[in-house]
A and B are shown apart, each in its own frame.
Chain A
Amino acid sequence: MRKLVQPACAFAFALAVIVALLALSSESPQRTLVAFFAKPLSSWWYAGNLLNVAGLLILAGTGSAFALRAGAFNLGGEAQLYASALVAAVILAPTGGPAGLAAEGFPRIAFALASAVATGALVAFIPGVLKASLRVSELITSFLLSAAVTPVLDWLISGPLRDPEQNLLATRAIDPAFRIPPIAAPALFNASFFVAVGIAVCGALFLGKTSPGYRIRISGTAPEFARYSGFSVKGATIAGMTVSGALHGLAGFFAVAGTWYMCHSGLTSGMGWGALACALMARANPLAVIPAAILYSWVETATDAASLSARFSFDSSALVQAVIFLVISVQTLGIPFLREKRRRP
């Protein structure tokens, strides 16, 4: 129970700040707060979409947790998601795609999925290798690589890969045959949520109950001890980052195949950072990522609903992330006012 106190405090504090900001910036605070708390669960459309986004966050958040457990910070989640989504959208496009990819049905979906996962893994593998071989901080390389890749992806979407028949800055919509159908329309909630939950559970079992998972954990917590014990700390770092990228890639695939059915410019809109916030709230425990992602998604949906009610534009995801990051950082750094106060015996 004690382990839950800090992340729960972080979340509660973030919630309080968001509610206060919404209420203060609204002409009708009462109506805004009712919208904040009641809207997300007022209809299946809201609730289903909330769970759908939570599914994507669970996948990417489990990825972030893997990197954290291996002693690395994957700050490149945005580009890993984005690049994978673009690859999936291109492969699943109805008429196009590179030559030789005309195969239909299951093989093509499998190819798109494998390519998206490999793309995410590759983008995260590079900072992992740089950290392991040259001791370059993955905090810098993963972030810079992401910052460099994103404009290239934007250019591809707005240029060579843009759908000429639409006014959107987006690729062609994927073939309807490859779309993952919603379980109960109109919400986009689909099977990807259950896949995400399954992967988070498998991730927790892998880290807690298997020998390679144990080695990754130990290498992340105690690298000197791990090396002395005969474990490959470099291997664990690379593996942690690569698995992290692969799971972000999987989230990118599902974002295209189950939610947007295309890759538009700025598709991730902070989802990579959101996933990292979920992993931090979950203290890098994949099982705890599931409720963290659902709560995060709920706050995002609630903030959107309240913003609409208050009739002003509100970048909810950025606000939610900012507050959660701030509170978690403050707790990690041990700023006195949030530390547990000593009780006199």
Chain B
Amino acid sequence: MKKAELRDIRKVYGTQSSPGEPGGSCTALDGVSLDFLPGEMHALLGENGAGKSTLVHIFSGLNRPTAGCVIIGGKEHFFSSPRDALAAGVAMVHQRPLLAPGLSALDNVILGEGGFFLNRRKARLAVGRIARDWGIKLDLDAPVAALPPADRLRTELLAALYSKPDFLVLDEPTAVLAPEEREAFLASVRRACSGGVGVILITHRLAEAARWADRITVLRHGKLVYSSTTAQGPVGERVTEDFLANLIDPDGVTATVATATGNNTADTGAHGGGIRAALPVFAVRQLTSKPNDRDGIESVSFEAYPGEIVGIFGLRGSGLETLEDVITGMRKPQSGDIMVGTEILHQKSITPARLRSRGVAIIPSDRAFRGAHPNLTIRDALTARGSGTGAYIGRPPFAIRASVRDAFVLGAMRDEGIDASPSRRMGALSGGQVQRLMLARELAGFPRVIVCASPEWGLDIAGVSRLRSRLTAAATAGCAVVVLSDDMDSVNDRSFYARSLILSEGRLP
């Protein structure tokens, strides 16, 4: 059984200077040394931007360290690509799955298989067996482009497992799984560990880590602050959620947030729960969409009033992904319309451009490629909204007012605590940082309606708190907020949602 050792890993991102913008550097990892043991589930915890993803990207060959090395089975490795890491027995399932969209799920899984002849039938049987063992439900023939984010993650997980790795890195896998799937998934991870696989699990769910992991490591600001077995906490007892929360965020924000995000069934100031405006600002009427490649929706109608936060909850297979695509204009419905203010958008006229021009802000569940793009600079990703509304257009006609745009970009980055050059690629930011910038961009347009899909995916507790307070402030200012979520635990969270609706088999009550 091989052991993996990460020795004194440092990662410094440097930025080149440009006119009006000094260059600089940002230390993502500051001398982290860590061991991953075979047959052990090792949870990696920390706030968004703590360096967790950077560390596992280095371990899996996606990034190269500025200093330090990876030792597996006593052999020193300097991975220059994920293929090198795979050859050394390290496979990774990314938070933002890296798949070929035009190929089927099966083809993505078996992509890169060695050998001269490809026996698809045999490969399909092998993949099916892995899927059964792990309890992964996936249509192997569906093109990846048509799969919702959760199924894309399942595809990448299958691909990682198909390579029979010694070490499997899972970057927030449970964030996109439905609650009832999480337990079964973690149980199958446990089984894999007992078979000798070393699993590195990044998660923001502290209870999950405390319950399932054998060993827990906490990173803060790029430094290792804690690493020990779960069974041996600070006083020789099993570590608790509170202990971990304190390690991650010693300033105490977490503690207060934990209370705020709990299931508070009393109606304590839910937004819009009191006096409701006379007319809805966003109304969905009789929307029907039945795509071939995923679960559809039928005659879905709901309304959102100014100042209220409406939650629409659904399990996997309820049609939540289709509802997101339709009400954000990314998929044309077969029938129905959407009313924004007093304007009605009929079936074919529901497009992102029309929704946006009528004051609808959208935060999609697919942050990696829809809400942003890894190859875009932060500046370009943040400019989109202003460019769409004409906020940065000055004289001569069509010219972008660089000073106004740059002031917004730098201000948003400062407010969100992102210390980087605006020329940095979005792909270099953590999932939480991307989400924060997306929200800042969308709120900057002073929208009348905000549609967010699974906005809490991948956020740490402080991140969830920040997100909720932003959305609450927007609602208080008169905005209607529609949140689509698969987190059924929050259905009765009246401290945040004014109303909760449950989507079941494509229908709302």
Contacts and interface: CB of A to CB of B under 8 A. Distances in A.
B231 interface: no
Given A214-B383, A224-B369, A225-B370, A232 B353 contact: yes
Contacts of B68: 345
A221 interface: yes
Interface in A179-236: 209-215, 217-218, 221-222, 224-232
5 shortest interchain CB distances as A-B pairs: A222-B373, A230-B353, A229-B384, A230-B356, A210-B398
Nearest to A228: B370
Nearest to B380: A218
Interface of B: 64-69, 78, 80, 328, 330, 351-353, 355-357, 362, 364, 366, 369-373, 375-376, 380-381, 383-385, 387-388, 390, 392-393, 398-400, 402
B124 to A, nearest CB: 28
Given A225-B373, A229-B356, 12 more contacts: A211-B398, A212-B398, A214-B387, A228-B328, A228-B364, A229-B387, A230-B352, A230-B388, A345-B65, A345-B66, A345-B67, A345-B69
B340 to A, nearest CB: 13
19 contacts: A209-B402, A210-B398, A211-B393, A211-B399, A211-B400, A214-B383, A214-B400, A225-B369, A225-B371, A225-B376, A225-B384, A227-B330, A228-B328, A228-B370, A229-B387, A230-B355, A230-B388, A231-B388, A342-B78
Contacts of B372: 222, 225
Contact of B353 (A210, A214, A231, A344): A231
Contacts of B400: 209-211, 214
Interface in A219-278: 221-222, 224-232
Contact of B399 (A209, A225, A226): A209
Contacts of A211: 387, 390, 392-393, 398-400
A214 B382 CA distance: 12
A225 B438 CA distance: 12
Nearest to B65: A345
Nearest to A217: B380
Given A210-B398, A214-B400, A227 B376 contact: no
Contacts of B399: 209-211
A194 to B, nearest CB: 22
A214 B401 CA distance: 12
Interface string A151-171: 000000000000000000000
Contact of B362 (A215, A228, A342): A228
Nearest to B375: A221
Given A210-B398, A227-B330, A231-B353, A222 B369 contact: yes
Query: Which of B375, B376, B384, B400 counts the most chain A CB atoms within 10 A?
Result: B384
Contacts of B402: 209
Contacts of A210: 398-400
Contacts of A224: 366, 369-370, 373
A212 B376 CA distance: 17
Nearest to B328: A228
B376 A221 contact: yes
Nearest to B80: A342
Nearest to B376: A222
Contact of A230 (B357, B364, B369, B380): B357
Contacts of B80: 339, 341-342
A165 B66 CA distance: 72
A228 B352 contact: yes
Nearest to B372: A225
Contacts of B330: 227-228
Nearest to B394: A211
Contacts of B357: 230
Contacts of B376: 218, 221-222, 225
Contacts of B381: 225
A49 to B, nearest CB: 37
Interface string A328-345: 000000000001011011
Contacts of A214: 380, 383, 387, 400
A180 to B, nearest CB: 29
Contacts of A229: 352, 356, 384-385, 387-388
A344 B384 contact: no
B343 to A, nearest CB: 16
A231 B357 CA distance: 11
Nearest to B8: A345
A70 to B, nearest CB: 15
A213 B64 CA distance: 34
B96 to A, nearest CB: 13
A339 B64 CA distance: 14
A209 B401 CA distance: 8
Nearest to A340: B80
B352 A221 contact: no
B353 A215 contact: no
Contacts of B388: 229-231
Which of A221, A224, A225 has its CB near the most chain B CB atoms (within 10 A)? A225
Contacts of A212: 398
A243 to B, nearest CB: 14
A276 to B, nearest CB: 22
Contacts of B383: 214
B64 A342 contact: yes
A225 B369 CA distance: 6
Contacts of B364: 228
Contacts of B390: 211
A226 B371 CA distance: 9
Contacts of B380: 214, 217-218
A89 B186 CA distance: 73
Nearest to B386: A211
Contacts of B392: 211
A106 to B, nearest CB: 26
A177 B366 CA distance: 61
Interface string A305-344: 0000000000000000000000000000000000101101
Contacts of A209: 399-400, 402
Nearest to B351: A230
A222 B368 CA distance: 10
B147 to A, nearest CB: 14
